[in-house]
Amino acid sequence: MNKAKLNYLLDIVIALAFLLSALSGLVFLVAGSGGYQGGRNTAFRTQILGISRETWSDLHTWVSLVMIAGVVLHLVLHWNWIVCITKQYVKTWQKAKTKEEQCPVTA
């Protein structure tokens, strides 16, 4: 698999994980912490959209971990470019740069 295809697939995985993590986070935001009237009604909103709170919690945790792993892998794959660009900015900030150096962008 070439690097461009790998980056594309990795970006799709990161995007899907982000969307699922955001959705599950919004479910928790809207549904609250559970219980009703100080916890006297323990059956209050134990299911959201037909899915139990525990399942939502597990989904949120796992897709967030997938997203973190994807971002770490994305950074590893682009590490050389990140270092090159950082060096360019440091040289620019120090005003010691005489000509523009180009960082290779590989897909």
Query: Of 12, 13, 26, 1, which Cα lies nearest the Cα of 63?
Result: 13
User: Within the chain, how many helices (H) and strands (E) appear?
Assistant: 3, 2
* Domains: count for the chain: 1
Q: Which residues of the chain have pLDDT under 50?
A: 96-97
Q: By residue range, what is the domain housing residue 17?
A: 3-78
Q: Let me know how long the chain is.
A: 107
Question: Residue 103: what pLDDT?
Answer: 72
**93 belongs to a structural domain:** no
Question: Residue 97: what pLDDT?
Answer: 47
Q: Are 74 and 10 in contact (CB under 8 A)?
A: yes
d(CA 84, CA 77): 13
Question: Residue 22: what pLDDT?
Answer: 95
**88 belongs to a structural domain:** no
Percent of the chain with pLDDT over 70: 75
**21 belongs to a structural domain:** yes
**29 belongs to a structural domain:** yes
**14 belongs to a structural domain:** yes
Question: Residue 54: what pLDDT?
Answer: 81
